[in-house]
Amino acid sequence: MSGLTTVFRKEVRENIRDRRALFNSLLLGPLLFPLLFVGMMWFLESAERERAEKTLELPVIGAQYAPSLIRFLEQQGTVILPEPEDPEELVRSQEVPVVLRILPEYPEKWEEGLPAPVEVISDPSRQESNAPIRRVKSLLYGYGQQIGSLRLQLRGVSPQLASPIMIKDVDLSTPKSRAILAVIFLPYVLMITAFTGATHLAMDTTAGEKERKSLEPLLINPVPRWQIMTGKMITTMVFAMASLALTLVSFRIVLPYMPVGAFGMDLTLGLATLLKILLIISPVAILAAALLTLLASFAKSYREAQSYMGLVILIPMIPSLIFMANPIKAETWMMAVPLFSQNLLIGEIIRGESVSLAWYGLSIASTLAIGLVLAALAANLYNRPKLIFSTS
Amino acid sequence: MIVVKNLHKSFGDVKAVNGVSFEARDGEITGLLGPNGAGKTTTLRMLYSLLPPDEGEIRIDGLDPTRDAMEIKRTLGVVPDSRGLYSRLTARENITYYGELHGMSRDAIRERIAELTTTLDMSDFIERRTEGFSQGQRVKVAIARAMVHQPQTVLMDEPSNGLDVMSTRALRHYVLSLKEAGHSVVLSTHIMQEVAALCDRIVIIAKGEVAADGTASELLERSGCDSLEDAFVELIGSEEGLLA
């Protein structure tokens, strides 16, 4: 085993001197992602606030048919804009989010006590117009309620008869469980970090060594090849792990600077939580190191290896993308699926839920098992002479 | 002492080595001479157990590379065609790495490096990172790395490739000193002068086969030529590969 530790020590020393390795493993993930996260939160939060607090400006067509409605809207702080030329085009071109059209038969129906028609012209498929649409509709609804009650009272009927059900919201979500974004984003970032942290070293220690033609002389030393490969893989794992740990620490440092109460989030990441997350994600670092080393060993040069890596980096994104599109409830069998299980578990931890030890165990064991199988494959790869020589 | 009998190796349809036999004795320098692509490197790779032969027998001090790979690697010092130094490590660290892979103790490695630094005249650059080293410096480090564990048998693939006159001189001097010390040295080359200056025995390889085998004077006699270069062309039957 002394061969293994010799290789490990040399790879660590060599890569610590490599600016590219340090940048990729120890700087990129730990610095970029947390900043990205905070930036995104600030952006979303401020955009949301702006939309909620901004004065509602509403172009109205046929304002002359419903003067009392217009008065109501103005009392509620709405700025009524003059009738536009082509309202549909205005909405389509995103110049305004909503246009209100009061139809000519409005006064007639109103007099007869029949529902008077108004049109809310909008494009709800545009995210940013959702808030104004909601505001316009709730104003119209409020006006309708008010007039409706008055009409009933005029006829001597209690307006309460028209409200057979009273709805009360009882909100059981804790501030933590509302941290939806963090629940999706943090596992996503960590999963990618495990891979990006391992990528450069996996390539440099295999394809890079082949490219620099130092692999052949190295293999002439009296050390079994599996020990040489394992020494290299352990270096890769250590760098990936360091990358993960630094990313978590940097999240911990950055979180206090998040917009206060953003999304009702109470996410402090105490030391115990950090360690728990690190424990869960560590097997992913091992899996990533083994998988990437295995792939890079087939490449003849660093460049060729890079072209494989572009595809591999998609793998850790898959679970997060699935959860983003379709949030699912964690179940025991999912803990056996690498990447999925870590995603779910970290989500649960952030949400502050208690997770059964069996789930931790299953997740760690299954990911570790697959990682070790891949590692064993990679370790024996250089027993094939074809893969040693880059030219012959 | 190396004994090679009827060695064969093909890659797909290409027969790289097709029945090579020769001997390399202790205290002698044996030159594998041949045009580019003649099968010299493939033969050496089989000797240092990185490639298994398809057929034939190799014995290095009685050991078989296909069965006693680890043992053989301990007794071999190899300077491959590709020097493959680690540019982010110093010359000393490069050599130390190989010493450690050979299981040597820290002290033994330090002593040995001190020795080699003197013999190979490396004191100017031994503590420098090998990035930007000249070819001559690279070869010296590669040799020191291969010799750190004091191997009995030394294999060198095109050792003087890319070296200037002074470095070539130093290299030849060192190879001769190995011979004096009783090592068995095998070097592959396509450079005639090198063979003439160094080798006790010459094995001419062409198209994967041994075209001729003997001392320089034996080869001259057999071919009836005056110069080794003419003898070489005569013996391999073409001028192909000489313009390198």
Scanning B68-200, the segments in alpha helix (DSSP H) are 69-75, 91-101, 106-119, 135-147, 165-180, 192-198
Q: What angle do CA B52, B55, B58 make, to 5 degrees?
A: 65
Residue A110 burial (C-beta neighbours within 10 Å; 0-12, 13-18, 19+): middle
User: What residue in B sits closest to A231 (Cα-Cα)?
Assistant: B101
Query: What is the domain partition of chain B in residue ranges?
Result: 2-82+152-236
Interface contact flag, A222 B102, Cβ < 8 Å = yes
Domain boundaries for CATH 3.40.1710.10 within chain A: 54-162
- Residues in chain A with CB shorter than 8 Å from the CB of B83 are 213, 217
- Topology of domain B2-82+152-236 in CATH is Rossmann fold (3.40.50)
Q: What is the identity of the amino acid at A207?
A: A
Interface contact flag, A6 B102, Cβ < 8 Å = no
Our CA dihedral for A332, A334, A339, A340, rounded to 10 degrees, sits at -110
- Residues in chain B with CB shorter than 8 Å from the CB of A13 are 89, 93
Interface contact flag, B84 A18, Cβ < 8 Å = no
d(CA A181, CA B3): 71
- Residues in chain A with CB shorter than 8 Å from the CB of B158 are none
Q: Of B180, B215, B210, B212, which Cα lies nearest the Cα of B199?
A: B215
Chain A nearest CA to B143, separation (Å): 11
User: What residue in A sits closest to B42 (Cα-Cα)?
Assistant: A392
Out of B70, B74, B86, whose CB is closest to A14?
A: B86
For domain A54-162, the CATH superfamily is abc type-2 transporter like domain (3.40.1710.10)
Going by DSSP bridges, is the β-strand pair B201-206/B209-214 parallel, antiparallel, or unpaired?
antiparallel
Chain A nearest CA to B176, separation (Å): 23
Each residue's pLDDT tens digit in chain A (392 positions)?
Answer: 689 999 999 999 999 998 888 888 888 878 888 888 778 777 777 776 666 677 888 899 988 898 889 898 888 888 888 888 888 888 888 888 889 999 999 999 888 888 899 999 888 887 777 778 888 888 899 898 888 888 888 888 888 887 778 777 665 655 554 456 667 778 888 888 899 889 999 999 999 999 988 999 999 999 999 999 999 999 999 999 999 999 988 888 887 776 655 545 556 678 888 899 999 999 999 999 999 999 999 888 888 898 888 888 888 888 888 877 777 777 888 888 898 899 889 888 877 778 888 999 999 999 999 999 999 999 988 888 878 875 53
pTM of structure = 0.79
Q: How many CB pairs under 8 A join A and B?
A: 75
Chain B nearest CA to A284, separation (Å): 29
pLDDT tens sequence across B78-98: 998 878 899 999 999 999 999
Cβ atoms of residues B97 and A6 within 8 Å:
yes
CB of A326 within 8 Å of a chain B CB? The answer is no
Cβ atoms of residues A159 and A148 within 8 Å:
yes
Q: Of A240, A144, A142, which Cα lies nearest the Cα of A192?
A: A240
β-strand partners of B153: B76, B184
